[in-house]
Amino acid sequence: MNIETKTHRPNEPSVSEAPVPAAGARRVRVLIFTIQLGNGGAEMQALRIANHLDRSRFEVQVAVMRGEGTYESALAADARLRMIGGSNLAAKARSLRALIKQERPDIVCSFLEVPNLLAGWACRGLKPRPHLAACVQAPPSIIWEGGGWRRIFRAAVSRYYARAEQVIAISAGVAQDIATMAPGAETHTDVVFNAGVDERVIAGASQPLDAGDEPPDGPLLVGCGRLVEQKGFPYLIDAFALVRERVPGAGLWIVGEGADRAALEQQIANRSLADSVRLLGFRDNPYRYMAAADIFVLSSIFEGFGNVVAEAMACGTAVVSTDCPYGPSEIITDGVNGLLVPPRDVPALAAAILRVLGDPELEARLVSAGRRRAQDFAAPAIAAGYAQIFEKLVARA
C-alpha cells in the first residue's frame, strides 16, 4: 500500500507555513504529555521538543503519568512539570482533564499510545477543546500485535488514529504502518523525524570515561538500548563472537537495562565472552560511550526511528545498523554515512563490523558523513517542524 506522507526536513517544511504571531500576540500554550520523562527514546523526544520550542511563540508545560524520570533534571527551567494523579487509567484521564480545564492549553501534544488515547478521552466534550496532536514513536502494528488485550488495545488505537485531528509519525515507515492499520489516517498524518541531537549529546560526548571504564586493548564496539527482545542484542553478541575470532582484542559494551539482562548474561557466559562483553546498565551519559567506540552498532529487530543512530553519528562514531522497520534506512545511506544489514542476520552483521574495522579509510568517511547527516536531526530544527504543525492547528480554528 503506497501512502503519500508529508515529511519535515530542515529547510523543507512539511506543512504550509503558518503566519508568525504579531508583536505582542499571546503565545500558543502547549501541553506535552507522556508516560515519564525518562528511560526511552520517545520520552527523550518529548523532552527535546519541550526544551527547543521557540519561547517567543510558545508557552510550554509537560505532564507525566509517573514522576522521578531520569530525564527530568534536563527539562528547561521555564517548562513546568506536572504530575497526573490516579491509580488507574480512568483516574489518570480524569486528572488530565482537570489539568487541561485549569490550564486551558491550545495544544495537547502526546507521545506514545497510552498517553495518546488518554488525551483523546480527557478532552471529549471540553469547551473550549484544545487541539490534539498524537505523536507515534514506533510502528503500532508491531508493538501491539498479538491476541487478548493487545488485540483490543490495537483496535482502540486504530479507531483513534483514523479519526484523530493530527498524527505525527517519526518516520515515513511508521506513517505507512499507521495508514495500513488505520485507513484514513494518512489524511492528517505528518512525518517529523526525531530530534536526535541536542547540546546534551555534544557535551556528553566530550566527557571522559569513568576510571573503571577502561576501553579494551583492541577496537571497541558499543550498543545502546533497553535489554529487551526488540533491540536484538542476542544477535549482536553472536556477531561479536565471530568478530572476536578475527580480532581477538575487540570488546563490546552494551549501555542499557531491562528484563533480558539475565538471559544476555547467560549467553555471554555460554559464549565464553565474559572477559570482552560488558553490560554497563543505565548510564546518565551514554554519549561518552558512543564517542569512545570505534563502531556503534544498532542490532534492533524493529524501531520507530532509532535516535541512537543519529546520536552516535553526532558523537563522531561510525555506525553499523540493521535495516529494520523502520527508521535506520531513513537516516543512513548505505555505504555513505553508515552500513546497513538485514535484521537477525548474524553473519552479515559480523561481516559489516569487520569491514569497517579492516578499512580505516571507510571508517573515516563514515564518521565524516555521519557527522554531517546528524545535523539534519538537531533539536531546534526538528522542534521547528512541530511548531509549524502546532501553528497550522491553531490557525485552523
pLDDT by residue for the chain (397 residues), tens digit each?
Answer: 333 333 433 333 333 344 444 555 789 999 999 999 987 889 999 999 999 999 999 999 999 999 999 999 999 999 999 999 999 999 999 999 999 999 999 999 999 999 999 999 999 999 999 999 999 999 999 988 888 888 999 999 999 999 999 999 999 999 999 999 999 999 999 999 999 999 999 999 999 998 889 899 999 999 999 999 999 999 999 999 999 999 999 999 999 999 999 999 999 999 999 999 999 999 999 999 999 999 999 999 999 999 999 999 999 999 999 999 999 999 999 999 999 999 999 999 999 999 999 999 999 999 999 999 999 999 999 999 999 999 999 998 6
C-alpha cell at 29: 500554550
In a domain, 102, yes or no: yes
pLDDT at residue 111, as a whole number: 97
pLDDT at residue 16, as a whole number: 34
In terms of C-beta density within 10 A (0-12 exposed, 13-18 middle, 19 or more buried), how is residue 248 classed?
exposed
Residue labelled with grid coordinates 580505516: 360
Residue 379 CB contacts under 8 Å (≥ 6 apart), including other chains: 48, 49, 51, 52, 195, 197, 198
* Backbone region of residue 256 per phi and psi (left: phi > 0; alpha: psi in -120 to 50; beta: other values): left
Same-domain pairing of 171 and 287: no
Same-domain pairing of 240 and 385: no
pLDDT at residue 10, as a whole number: 36
Same-domain pairing of 359 and 388: no
What domain range includes position 290? 200-376
In a domain, 1, yes or no: no
Same-domain pairing of 368 and 384: no
CATH number at residue 160: 3.40.50.2000
pLDDT at residue 13, as a whole number: 34
Same-domain pairing of 133 and 260: no
In a domain, 187, yes or no: yes
Same-domain pairing of 83 and 230: no
Our count of domains for the chain comes to: 2
Same-domain pairing of 252 and 385: no
How would you write 119-170 as a 3-class SS string? HHHHCCCCCCCCEEEEEECCCHHHHCCCCCHHHHHHHHHHHHHHHCCEEEEC
In a domain, 2, yes or no: no
